[in-house]
């Protein structure tokens, strides 16, 4: 891998959540390994939903970022959304591929960059798709049926309309199945996500390569909050599970709840805690400022009620030696089982976990040690990136062997 193109809809500071963070993290890691990395994203997609870019963005050194805009604006986004093809930016992307001669293309959340029609981009490169969301099997990306419960059966048309989104015509034409042949490797971020794709009819095989975060710098700085606290980091949406957490902090339990993030449900949740001195709302916090909040928290709470594909905030917490308390859903228990985590099903079990971390002698210290070990072994850059590079190299080798076989030539083992 030397010249890498990463294609995504959202990228910081034109981004909302974990999908963009994942791309940014990988772009920086590949650049540090000597790759020439170019990231292309759609600024219009973000600006259709937010008035301005997120503040506090720090670009990754050595990464070229190209933000695309079109005079068609939202109309161009709708055209791509409905056709599943790069109708607006296709010509520019093809010129970029011809000029740069990329050897590897990484697709990640391309819903508004070109849908499955973009998979044919850069035909001479190894093309891989990373399922950071459930876009391949879910029109709303999140497997959250009727905006009220996890999706356990296909009711896509009614659910899409309930989410106030237009149905995507291309999903009923076999376009994804045909375009999948242009992708050399599909990656899931967790074993759970891979099995969910398979259960919902996605036929191509998927390899599991987890996400990672950079190891934090040495601990420094004073405690950012006067009292002991538990930390929630993420989008403030109903599917993220805060509704089960907030009632536990209406009275003094000896520790507060600190919430870092923004989202559509923020006003409603703030109203639930109005007047409570035990809940602190930070709003949006840039990634580089989150470390001190993680380090001093008793535990990081990840109560998501939907089926995540991974859980980036889980490994962010573990990287700082902060225990996690996660809901028993999706890949979250899969992550917690490897160290530094407690799992709950009900609000009563969550309450018990909070009390255990606070009062059970030695528990937090043991969980903290497990967290640091698990992070180093499973989710550090040094543990994860070589897996990805080796997998892409295998895909490149398969391509060469296939081309040689088609030409009637032999390829000697190396």
pLDDT at 409: 57
Predicted pLDDT of residue 313: 94
Per-residue model confidence (pLDDT) at position 410? 54
Residue by residue, what is the 3-state secondary structure of the chain? CCEEEEEECCECCECCCHHHHHHHHHHHHHHHCCCEEEEEEEHHHHHCCCCCCCCCCCCCCCEEEEEECCCCCHHHHHHHHHHCCCCCCHHHHHHHHHHHCCCEEEEECCCCCCHHHHHHCCCCCEEEEEECCCCCCCCCCCCEECCCEECCCCCHHHHHHHCCCCCCHHHHCCHHHHHHHHCCEEEECCHHHHHHHHHCCCCCCEEECCCCCCCCCCCCCCCCCCCCEEEEECCCCHHHCHHHCHHHHCCCCCCEEEEECCCCCHHHHHHHCCCCCCEEEEECCCHHHHHHHHHHCCCEEECCCCCCCCCHHHHHHHHCCCCEEEECCCCHHHHHCCCCEEEECCHHHHHHHHHHHHHCCCHHHHHHHHHHHHHHHHHCHHHHHHHHHHHHHHHHHHHHHHHHHHCCCCCCCC
- Series of mean pLDDT values for 10-residue runs along the chain (414 residues): 96 87 94 97 93 84 96 94 94 96 96 95 97 94 89 88 89 95 97 96 96 82 92 94 96 96 93 92 90 96 95 95 97 92 97 97 96 96 97 95 75 46
């Amino acid at each position: 891998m030397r010249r890498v193109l990463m294609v995504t809809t959202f990228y910081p500071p034109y981004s909302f959540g974990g999908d963009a963070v994942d791309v940014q993290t990988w772009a920086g890691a590949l650049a540090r390994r000597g790759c020439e990395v170019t990231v292309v994203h759609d600024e219009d997609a973000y600006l259709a939903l937010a008035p301005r870019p997120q503040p506090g963005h720090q670009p990754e050194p050595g990464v070229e970022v190209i933000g695309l805009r079109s005079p068609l604006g939202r109309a161009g986004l709708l055209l791509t959304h409905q056709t599943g093809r790069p109708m607006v930016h296709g010509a520019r992307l093809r010129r970029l591929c011809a000029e740069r001669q990329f050897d590897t293309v990484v697709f990640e959340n391309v819903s508004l960059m070109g849908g499955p029609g973009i998979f044919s981009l850069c035909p001479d490169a190894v093309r891989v798709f990373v399922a950071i969301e459930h876009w391949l099997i879910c029109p709303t990306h999140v497997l959250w049926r009727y905006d009220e419960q996890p999706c356990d059966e296909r009711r896509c048309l009614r659910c899409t309309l309930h989410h106030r989104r237009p149905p995507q015509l291309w999903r009923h034409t076999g376009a994804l199945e045909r375009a999948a042949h242009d992708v050399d490797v599909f990656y899931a971020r967790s074993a759970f996500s891979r099995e969910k794709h398979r259960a919902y009819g996605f036929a191509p095989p998927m390899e599991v390569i987890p996400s990672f975060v950079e190891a934090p710098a040495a601990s420094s700085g004073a405690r950012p909050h006067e009292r002991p606290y538990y930390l929630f980091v993420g989008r403030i949406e109903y599917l993220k599970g805060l509704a089960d957490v907030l009632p536990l902090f209406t009275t003094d339990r000896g520790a507060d709840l600190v919430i870092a993030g923004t989202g559509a449900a923020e006003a409603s949740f703030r109203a639930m805690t109005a007047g409570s001195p035990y809940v602190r709302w930070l709003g949006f916090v840039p990634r580089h400022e989150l470390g001190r909040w993680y380090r001093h928290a008793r535990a990081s709470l990840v109560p998501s009620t939907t089926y995540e594909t991974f859980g980036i905030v889980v490994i962010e917490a573990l990287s700082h030696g902060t225990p996690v308390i996660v809901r028993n859903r999706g890949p979250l228990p899969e992550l917690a089982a490897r160290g530094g985590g407690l799992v709950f099903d009900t609000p009563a079990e969550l309450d018990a976990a909070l009390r255990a971390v606070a009062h059970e002698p030695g528990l937090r210290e043991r969980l903290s040690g497990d967290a640091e070990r698990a992070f180093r072994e499973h989710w550090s850059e040094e543990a994860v990136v070589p897996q990805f590079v080796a997998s892409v190299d295998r895909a490149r080798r398969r391509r060469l062997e296939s081309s040689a076989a088609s030409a009637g030539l032999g390829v000697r083992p190396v």
